[in-house]
Structure 1
Amino acid sequence: MSSRSQATVAQAALSPPVVNVFLTLLPITLAVFVSFLTIGLPLPVLPLQVSGTLGMSPLVVGVVIGAQFAAALLSRSWAGNLSDTRGAKRAVITGLLFASASGVAYQASLAFASPVASVWMLLLGRVLLGCGESLIVTGSLSWGIGLVGPHNAGKVMAWNGMAMYGAYAAGAPLGIAVQGAHGFAGISVAAVVLPLLALTCMANVRAVAPTAVRRTPFYKVLGMVWRPGLGLALCSVGFGVITAFIALLFAARDWGNASLAFTVFGLAFIAARILFGHLPDKLGGARVALICVVIEALGQLLIWGAQSPAVAYAGAALTGFGYSLAFPGFGVEAVRRAPPQSRGLAMGAYVAFLDMALGITGPVLGALAGARGIEAVYLAGAIAVALSALVALRLLTSGSKDSAVSREEV
């Protein structure tokens, strides 16, 4: 065999195998969708259970709902290290078991005569669900990237994100239907069963080997991904004000039911992922994020100045379209800056910026709405999203230099 032939064979052996990205990711994506129904189903039902059935104040409702966010944020480091040191598949399986346990806690809350005891059990369920969500998201992203390669990281994030937000959209009306037919007990049983069903979806998908033999300090990885994470946090404000305040805007303007605004946001979000989800990998994450956050900011400005529901719907659609690809756009930049052995922890650190943004958006912009009117939150949203464009521009101009520096720090 000639030296050229030997070199060709050696190069082929070192090249990553060609995989069908869609078929490889499909079982994991389906598992994420089914498991996230466990989060979507209780969203419209839990406030009614806490305030109506148990007679608690709006503050208690907020604490119960927010407990999941707090648990998810605080467990990101643990989830990332578990994924890196024990394997991403194990992290997802553990997360599904935590999510199923949350349904057991919901069911147990119905057994107490004391409303206070019931609330404590619901809080336990929300904490378990937050830990499960953290493990599922972090593990599924790391697992998918391990299966199809870092060069397909944008597609992994696009498909996982579509599954997550699709489950939120489908879960809310489904939760109302389940509660109408079977009460809160039906929601509890569904929360137990759905994660176990998700487990069967991905049981036969091969695991990827752990990428690290020891825990990496969370602050080190946080330092690598803070710029893409900051971009994600700022552009997520646009998503946060849609979910938290669009119904209040429609009520204040006497425009009727705001459900269509959620629908067009979700449809635009999913359409962008299906049609253009490959672009962050092909064109570069920062470049795609820069274009998409400009689209998202325009959507926020449309809602701010809307004098009719049709204009608000158009703004919601532009917001959903732009935000849809901003997440994987900034995410590709986060993956580029993290070493392979800390990929799971990097994904956990990156998504933690989303947790922080959504946690801050509600109370801070709620206070702004009380002082300046509900429409003011959309001007603030446009400003925050526009600032994320500056982050994307910085990432685009810094290029590979930041990636090399970040990797040398580990």
Structure 2
Amino acid sequence: MATASTDMAPASGREATRRLLPFTVLVALGYLTVGLPLAVVPIYVHSTLGFGPVAVGWVIAMQSIGTLLTRHFAGVVSDTRGSKLAVISGAATCSFAAVLYSLSTPSLFGRTGGLGILLLARLILGLGESLLITGALAWCIGAVGSRYTGRAMVWVGIAMFGSIGAGAPAGVGLLRAGGFTFLALVAALLPILACLIAARKPGIPPHHGRRMGFLKVVGLIWPFGVSLALSTFGFGTLFAFLGLYYASHNWSGASWALSGFGLAYTVTRLIFGGLPDQMGGIRVASVTIPLQALGLIILAAAPVAEVALIGAAILGGGYSLTFPALGVEAVKHVPPQSRGAAMGAYVAFVDIGLGLTGPISGAIVSHAGYPAVFVAGALASGGAFVAMMLTSNLFVRPTVD
């Protein structure tokens, strides 16, 4: 029988952080399957497979569609079978998706076949990410207690975006060293290491008690999710089209701009990660969401690559705390036995934001060019701010456990 990874709640924030660090490592290894190909896939679809920005948008969106369709499933697995099983299953699925990446080369199945395999791989990666992140969030919160919900989200996010920040230039280096297939196989190996780490950690037994239906959970947290989805739209435009935006200006260093985003994201969480728990999520998000919009406007107006990098970094710093800030508020509304479902539902709004980003931003680029898509992202962040302020004034109060 699984045993809890803790016998009591941590006595301090430092102890909570110590307990969270092993989870950060295993999530980072699993999420490198997302991070390593991230700067490469848009260029690969455009240059190697020979498809335009609309196809690029759909390839990027397919992962989010996969996660959106499976968040409920991931929450049920985490709540009923244990978050440890969800994490291990998710990491293994991510590895399988990366193996499929390696089969998408046009020399094997042609351009159209390669695109189809890549779309399938991205869909399966969405399932893997859904299980990995939903399970990890529930496992982390169970390990440190609801008092440190924001801190748990902060450290899972550090692992995710640290993998993106480090993975983007590393993926470009792997591509140059051995080609896309080599990159895909390296990305397939790392989640297996995550499985090995997770297997050695004691799990958190599922909570007893009546669990809420998934739709009821969604009904309780959706006001915070809407703001999160709108915030995510701008973040999604960066990862979908930054590489092509740089190429359109004959700039080099798009992967380093992604690293600038990831570095700012990580440093902000390390320094200010305790603020959502201490000050409340709404107060923190009222600062971070406008920062996102500022970064996107700088990106759209950038005259040189260095200014675009600054815009990406500001966006990263702003987006960094938006997710845990709104998440702290959302988790207050559900009991512990439905925490996995709540995490699945909440993170699903990231999937909605990213899923809409691909096709919508692809259409914007096709008709108005690359700067316009970052302006659209800034407008979406403005909508997120309005939605967040309405949420703080109008919607339901937290459920008392």
**Letter of the aligned partner of 2:66 in structure 1?**
A
Taking a change above 3 Å as real, the CA distance of residues 376 and 44 of structure 1, as seen in their structure-2 partners, is closer
After TM superposition, give the deviation of residue 110 of structure 1 in Å. Answer: 7.4
Match of 2:88 among 76, 87, 93: 93
Map 1:118-197 to 2 at 5 A.
121-197=117-193
Aligned to 1:22: 17
Superposed CA deviations along residues 273-316 of structure 1, whole A, max 9, x for unmatched, are: 11000100011111111111122222233334444555433332
- 2 CA distance for matches of 1:15 and 1:44? 42
Alpha-carbon deviation of 1:373?
A: 4.3
How far 1:397 moved relative to its partner? 3.6
5+ unaligned residues in a row in structure 2: which ranges? 1-6
Go from structure 1 to structure 2 and tell me whether the alpha carbon gap of 1:368 and 1:102 turns closer, same or farther (over 3 Å shift). Answer: closer
Is the aligned partner of 1:74 residue 2:76?
A: no
Equivalent-residue separation in structure 2 for 1:87 and 1:49 (angstroms)? 38
Render the CA deviation track for 1:234-254: whole Å, top value 9, x for unaligned. 111221232234444445556
Q: 1:89 to 1:48 in 2, by over 3 A?
A: same
Rounded Cα–Cα distance in structure 2 between residues aligned with 1:226 and 1:234: 12
Matched, 1:393 2:386: no
Equivalent AA in structure 2 for residue 210 of structure 1: P
1:367 to 363, 367, 382: 363
Q: Which moved more, 1:149-158 or 1:116-125?
A: 116-125
Q: Does 1:33 align with 2:31?
A: no
Instruction: Output the amino acid matched with 1:344.
Output: G
- Alpha-carbon spacing, 1:45–1:316, altered in 2? closer, same or farther (3 Å): closer
Q: Say if 1:102 and 1:191, in contact at 8 Å, map to a contact too.
A: no
Q: Provide Cα deviations, 1:318-353, integer angstroms capped at 9, x if missing partner.
A: 221111111110111111112211111111111111
Q: What letter matches 2:96 in structure 1?
A: A
Structure 1-normalised TM-score? 0.84
Distance 2:282 2:349 in 1: 17
Percent of pairs with identical residues: 43
* Structure 1 equivalent of residue 213 of structure 2: 217
Distance 2:208 2:74 in 1: 13
TM-superposition CA deviations, 1:72-112 (whole Å, max 9, x none): 11001100111111111111111112122224444566799
- Asked if 2 retains the 8 angstrom alpha-carbon contact of 1:334 and 1:350, the reply is yes
Contact persistence 2:93–2:124 (CA under 8 A): yes
| Paired residues of 1:146 and 1:208 also in contact (CA < 8 A) | yes
Matches within 5 A, 1:311-350: 311-350=307-346
| CA RMSD between the two structures | 3.0
Contact 2:230 2:353 in 1 (8 A): yes
Q: How much has 1:117 moved relative to structure 2?
A: 5.8
Tell me which amino acid in the other structure corresponds to 1:312. A
| 1: CA distance, partners of 2:222 / 2:151 | 21
Distance in 2, matches of 1:361 and 1:110, equals 25
Greater relative contact order (Cα < 8 A, sep 6+): 2
Structure exhibiting the larger radius of gyration computed from Cα positions = 1
Q: Decide whether aligned partners of structure 1 residues 353 and 241 sit closer, same or farther in structure 2, where only a CA change above 3 A counts.
A: same
Q: Residue type of the partner of 1:18?
A: A
Amino acid at match of 1:23: R
After superposing the two structures, state which structure 1 stretch, 305-314 or 198-207, moved more: 305-314
The match for 1:5 is: none
Alpha-carbon distance in 2 for matches of 1:299, 1:113: 41
- How do 1:35-74 residues align onto structure 2 when only pairs under 5 Å count? 35-46=30-41, 55=49, 57-58=51-52, 63-74=58-69
> In 2, distance between residues paired with 1:265 and 1:16?
33
- Counterpart CA distance in 1 for 2:243 and 2:185 is 29
Q: Take 2:104 and 2:325, find their aligned partners in 1: how far apart are those partners? A: 41
Give the AA of the match of 1:178: L
Could you say which residue in structure 1 is the equivalent of 2:274? 278
Q: Name the structure 1 match of 2:4.
A: none
TM-score normalised according to structure 2 size: 0.86
Structure-2 separation of matches of 1:224 and 1:255: 45
Q: 223, 226, 232: which one pairs with 2:228?
A: 232
Give the count of matched residue pairs: 391
Using the TM superposition, give the Cα deviation of residue 258 of structure 1 relative to its aligned residue in structure 2, in angstroms: 3.7
